[in-house]
Structure 1
């Protein structure tokens, strides 16, 4: 079941989330880019604000807080300026907790050499294109083309498609905002990562309500995974036609990173 983002009720204007949390504990799962920081042209510029950092610290003192991001885990931790939260990097392929260390599903380990080879090919074929940014991660490689001139973008797409054709059984494409991300072709995504964390962190009891906040296509897997178990909250401006017309499995909406911080601050009280 899905709805247009423009048809979703706002968390801040609708009391449904508050009522569902009455007498129960939230467990909060958060995407990073577009949720905890605004989308920026250069990935390395998406540094979390001091105010958001304070908000997360206060919230984590009250309930479980987990970051689920497409970024490399260690990079996300550096950008947040926090190293004491649960983080699932690379779309859940690299999961770490302060108490238990790595709790990553081990299916990805056999693909690490191949992903490194794919990253090298991309550097050779498109790395010199002005504006392109190739971001190697532990278990994937992302090619950002937001700053690439329109006439060069087809060349990037062709390189990505060649790699997929050469490794159809081993490499898959994850869609994103102005980015191609190549990852191991295994049955794993942000939704499965969230369910894995709920199990490992013992958050499956009836007195816990999982909440997932995300803004990207990859977050839809998490919204669907929690549809009957928790609450999905889409982050984005519903008045923007490009966003408002999008179909989503989320149940509520927050319009901006500022509204996310307002909501998380209220949860942490």
Structure 2
């Protein structure tokens, strides 16, 4: 993966280059939610779209195929975004819903829901003595948030998670911004979900340019999946890390500016 400092800014250094790469092709957009469309906030339930971002997404979806891809539960994600005419991929793509009722749920993941139930109970017991640790149950994962845990005790949280996983070898741990995700240990992630949606939308040909925007480690799977056939844009936020993305955006505000650039490219305006 490319070191962050070598990833050019999509809006500053390489704006014209980026537009040239899109020329003559249909752009399909895949957008992470937290840290991309909405800023990272102390309480995940407060991560709401700004009025400006919502207006941008409404207009964007009139001109391009749009999918929102998130680690959040599908009903929660759909409730936060609240737009018709877009695809939603929740739980890192384990469940997908599109316009007109089209839906997908990974069968192998569904079979492991009872094991996730058991792991959730064990995690709750193990984390009870660690102030600030918080569990968030999703249909296909259990998120262990440690944003509010004392810095010196963060390692304790991970040890509890690892101990539970040792008793549940069919589950795995993935990481994010001050969160551990306990998920089914299946070769499925945001990148696989993007490929599924491209097939479902019949957007697999050379005339289509898939573009993925995301800020977290889980978005790297999508960046890698699109290498050589699409474009990845990483949202830097406050953390610099290696990435497989092609370009960078500084923050949520630059994401909105980039999306507005695409709207202008398509001959539209944000109202």
Aligned residue in 1 for 2:229: 229
Aligned residue in 1 for 2:2: 3
Q: Is the 8 A contact 1:134 1:144 kept in 2?
A: yes
Q: Is the 8 A contact 1:127 1:133 kept in 2?
A: no
Which runs of structure 2 are paired with 1:151-166 in the superposition (5 Å)? 151-166=152-167
Deviations 1:46-71 (A, max 9, x none): 11111111111111111110011111
Q: Counterpart of 1:264 in 2: which secondary structure?
A: helix
Q: Counterpart of 2:63 in 1: which secondary structure?
A: coil
Aligned residue in 1 for 2:122: 121
Aligned residue in 1 for 2:33: 32
Q: Report the CA distance between 1:128 and its aligned residue.
A: 5.6
Q: Kindly report the root-mean-square deviation, in angstroms, between the aligned alpha carbons of the 2 structures.
A: 1.5
Q: Report the CA distance between 1:8 and its aligned residue.
A: 1.2
Q: Distance in 2 between matches of 1:247 and 1:155?
A: 26
Q: Counterpart of 1:206 in 2: which secondary structure?
A: coil
Q: Is the 8 A contact 2:213 2:234 kept in 1?
A: yes
Q: Report the CA distance between 1:177 and its aligned residue.
A: 1.0
Aligned residue in 2 for 1:258: 253
Q: Distance in 2 between matches of 1:125 and 1:117?
A: 13
Q: Report the CA distance between 1:206 and its aligned residue.
A: 2.0
Q: Report the CA distance between 1:103 and its aligned residue.
A: 1.8
Q: Counterpart of 1:61 in 2: which secondary structure?
A: helix
Q: Report the CA distance between 1:148 and its aligned residue.
A: 1.1
Q: Distance in 1 between matches of 2:108 and 2:221?
A: 19
Q: TM-score, normalised by structure 2?
A: 0.92
Q: Distance in 2 between matches of 1:127 and 1:55?
A: 42
Q: Distance in 2 between matches of 1:81 and 1:206?
A: 31
Which runs of structure 2 are paired with 1:1-269 in the superposition (5 Å)? 2-13=1-12, 14=14, 15-127=16-128, 129-168=130-169, 170-237=170-237, 242-243=239-240, 246-268=241-263, 269=268
Q: Is the 8 A contact 2:135 2:143 kept in 1?
A: yes
Q: TM-score, normalised by structure 1?
A: 0.93
Q: Distance in 1 between matches of 2:96 and 2:129?
A: 32
Q: Distance in 1 between matches of 2:91 and 2:143?
A: 10
Q: Distance in 2 between matches of 1:235 and 1:160?
A: 28
Q: Report the CA distance between 1:84 and its aligned residue.
A: 4.1
Deviations 1:150-178 (A, max 9, x none): 3433332221011111112x100011111
Q: Distance in 1 between matches of 2:242 and 2:126?
A: 35
Q: Distance in 2 between matches of 1:182 and 1:50?
A: 33
Q: Report the CA distance between 1:114 and its aligned residue.
A: 1.0
Gaps of 5+ in 1: none
Q: How many residue pairs were aligned? A: 262
